[in-house]
Structure formats: structure tokens, C-alpha cells
Chain A
Amino acid sequence: MPARRTALAFAAAFLAGVSLAQAQAQAQDRSIVVFSTTSTQDSGLFGHILPMFKAKTGIDVRVVSQGTGQALDTGRRGDADVVFVHAKAQEQKFVADGFGVKRHPVMYNDFVLIGPKGDPAGAKSKDIVAGLKAIKAKGANFISRGDRSGTHSAELNLWRASGIDIAKEKGPWYKEIGQGMGAALNTASASNAYVLADRGTWISFKNRGDLAIVVEGDNRLFNQYGVMLVNPEKHKHVKKDAGQAFVNWLISPEGQAAINAYKINGQQLFFANANAPGA
């Protein structure tokens, strides 16, 4: 009877689909979801430190990378156990609003202003403010992340420090792409534009084209990372113990040493500073 056979085929197909998906869900208990930024993910830091943490504790860390603003929003909705981001003011607000338990400084790297080797705007110097003013004056192409990420908010702070109200004064030379660090570098590389990047992503970035570092070493380019457990009192299902274990490990001497040991082409990408006062 075709009808019965068809029905059986459907049932079998459905069961197969569901059970395949179920098999994927196993071993979910000893795992946490960490929301971090595109800069930590794209630079490869997690690939280096997470296996050490897993070997020590058996906890699987599942990293989703988004811009800082989006990562904090995800934490607010309760979809993350831990957030590991880089925009201190936003992080402090996250904790003050009761969404995070406590903010711990972890490490820093720095931002660099990237631009065409020929430096058409004449932005090359040790002074980021002078560099941005030169770009604005020449109307040289500039790529902005435009995605409320930590790098984007750092960029906006730097324009403000340069006395430029970028929201009002931007022209066609200023392009907000609304994407991650890698995408912004790809866009800058394709259009020979200036872009603010974190040094970690820049060092590990491969499609550089004609781009090079234009400004670096200015104190205002400092980039601090902090980590927070999402508040289990707001969101009951937060994996408090495993999440706290990860936070504690990151700021422990062992975790800090692991961060310092991560190098690409002999260059250290992140500098652990969990114990630096005021970081």
C-alpha cells in the first residue's frame, strides 16, 4: 500500500533528522558559552589558551565572537555565561546595571592606525590626534567599523579627542561598514583606505595589500580587555561554577602566563595585566 509506505518513509526521515541533531547535543554539561570580540577570535588567541584551560578543568569553552556592544547585549539577554570584551565604560555600565557580577581586567593590547604605505594624507606620526586631523583635512578614505564594537567606540573617542564631531563632520570619505575587524581590514585593503585596528588582528591579518601601520605607540591607543560572569541572579541558568572557573583561570598566574606566551611570527599579541591597578 503506497500510502502506508509513504507515511513510514516520512516517519523514518523525521526520526533520522531529530536523532542526528540530538547526538550533537551530548556532552553539553561541562561547557560554557563565552561571548568575546572579533579581535580576540580573529587573532587566534583562544585557539592557543582554551586547550590549556580544557586540559586543566575539563570544561569546554564555546566562543562566539561579536563586537563588544553586541556581546554585552547578548549577555543582557542571558544567552552567554561569560563576556570577555574591551570597552571599559560599557563594561562598568553592564556590571552597574546588574547584568555582570564583577569586572576583572585581563590583558591589553593596543590599537594601530593602518593606512596606505604611500600615506596620502600625511598622517604618519606618533600622535594619533594629529593623524586623524590630517585624514579629515585631506578627506582621505577612512573605514569605520560602525558596529558599536570596542574598536568602534575607541575610534569615536579618538575623533572626539581630536576635536572632531565625526557624526556631523563626516563626508563621503568616511565609510561605516558595520562589520567586524577582519572585514574592515579587507575593505581598507581593497580601497587603500585608513582604518583603526587592534594590533592583534593586524599582526595575524593576511590580506594586507598595500597597507601598513601609520600611527602606533600613542598612549591614547591603549586597549584594555575585561571579563565578567553574567549575573546568575538575573539569569538562573547561567553556569555559575564553570563560568567563574574560567574567569578565575584567566586572571590566575597560569592563565596570565598563557596569554603572554601567545605569539605570531615572534610578536607578542596581548599583554596580561590582571593585577595592574586601575586597569
Chain B
Amino acid sequence: MRGDVSALQLVLTADPALMEIVRLSLVVSLSAVACAAVIGLPLGALIALTRYPGREASIVVLNALLGLPPVVVGLLVYLLLSRSGPLGTWGILFTPQAMVIAQTILVAPIIAALARQTIEDLWLEYRDELAAMNVGPAGRVATLLWDARFSLLTALLAGFGRAAAEVGAVIVVGGNIDGFTRTMTTAIALETSKGDLPLAIGLGMVLIAIVVVVNALAWGARRAGERLAG
């Protein structure tokens, strides 16, 4: 971004560079939440609904993964995707795909842990009914995920919040490349290192505003969905 401009100016003039950064941030974080939901929701439901040896331990581990440090995840994905690493032939280090992979790893435990709690609470209500209807494990997972869909939205939003706010993983695997892998958070880190603190704060405000808008949209969708579902 150009020197000597305020973040407000960039927003008001719909600065193309800023718009590209906002777009990439949303694409990467929403893609990661989508991928993490595919992994995390069924996983959380399975842990909630099945009983197996070591289940308590797996819940503790899952909850502990909520505190996974982004920079460590970034480094692990970096080493995996490096040309000298096991997945080096994919050639996707320093691309948005690598950023989606890293954020998926960060977000999946959050969605799984929150989904597990939600589903387990709901299971207490449904247990007798589903047992009487003789529904198998896969059917139970699907039924409960569907019936808890509005509560699970909170889990997805928590995951999105984590993804949109983190800088440690995306800067390591994405490289903060101008116009290609620069997101809101890595742009803020860059402007800070250039000593342009007002622009960095301004970009931070823009990021917060984006997160508020995404949450408002999700809330609206939830209310509309609840009305439709009666």
C-alpha cells in the first residue's frame, strides 16, 4: 500500500490493494472454516455419541488443542510443504492453499471441541427417543448435527474468529507476498514493522469491522433459519 495515506482513505476510496487483501483474508479463513467443519463437526459428534476406552483422554487432548499456537502449526505445515519436506512435490508453499491447510489445522479442534459439548448436551435429551427408534451411530451423528445446527453456528463462528485473527501461521506458510498471500493480519504486521502505526491500527479497525459484519450475517442467517424451521 502507498505511503502517507490513512486506513480510512483506503476504505473510502475502495483502494484495490486493500480490497484484494480483504478478499484474500475472507477466502482463506472461510475456506479453512469450511474444511475444518467437514472434519470437526462429525469428529465432535462421534466423540460425543460413542463410548470407547480412552475417550476421556481424547476429550482432554481435544480441549487442549484449543490452545494450539498458530506459529507452531505454521512451522509444522511449512516443514511438511517445504521442497525438502514430505509433501514438497505439491509445490504449494507460499500459496493461499498452504494458508488454508494451516488454518484448517488450527480451526478444526475448536469446531470439534465445541461441537462435542453441544452434541453431548443435546444427546441427553434425545437418547431415549433415538434408542427407541433403533437408529444406528451414523444416523445418530447426522440427526444430532442437523438438529443442533443453529447452536453449532457458534462453533463455526468461533473457528472463523480464530482464523481471521491469527497471523503466526499464515505469515510462515504464506510469506506475506504482496498481492498474493497478504492478508489483513500480515499487512498489519508489515505496516507495524514499517513504523506506520496509524495505518496499522486503521487496518486493525477494518479487520474488526469485517469480523463484526461476518458475525452479523451469520446471526441474521440463524434467525431466518429458525423462523423457517418453526
Contact = CB atoms under 8 A, between A and B. Distances in A.
Interface in B114-165: 138-139, 142-143, 145-147
Interface string B191-205: 011111100000000
A98 interface: no
A17 B195 contact: no
Contact of A10 (B27, B41, B147, B192): B41
Interface residues of B, number: 46
A189 B192 CA distance: 13
Contact of A6 (B24, B91, B142, B192): B142
B111 to A, nearest CB: 11
Contacts of B83: 77-79, 235, 237
B84 A78 contact: yes
Contact of A3 (B91, B146, B177): B146
Contact of B34 (A17, A28, A41, A78): A17
A79 B82 contact: yes
A160 interface: no
B97 A25 contact: yes
A77 B82 CA distance: 7
Contacts of B42: 10
Given A17-B33, A18-B31, A62-B94, 19 more contacts: A2-B143, A3-B143, A6-B142, A6-B146, A14-B38, A17-B35, A21-B96, A22-B97, A44-B3, A64-B175, A64-B176, A78-B82, A79-B83, A182-B192, A186-B195, A206-B195, A206-B196, A207-B196, A237-B91
Interface of A: 2-7, 10, 13-14, 16-18, 20-22, 24-25, 28, 33, 38, 41-42, 44, 46-47, 60, 62-65, 77-79, 179-183, 185-186, 189, 204-208, 235, 237, 264
27 contacts: A2-B146, A4-B142, A14-B35, A17-B31, A17-B34, A17-B100, A20-B27, A20-B30, A21-B28, A21-B31, A21-B96, A24-B95, A46-B178, A63-B177, A63-B178, A77-B83, A78-B84, A79-B82, A79-B83, A183-B192, A183-B193, A186-B192, A186-B193, A189-B195, A206-B195, A206-B196, A235-B83
Interface of B: 3, 24, 27-28, 30-35, 37-38, 41-42, 82-84, 88, 91-97, 100, 138-139, 142-143, 145-147, 175-178, 180-181, 190, 192-197
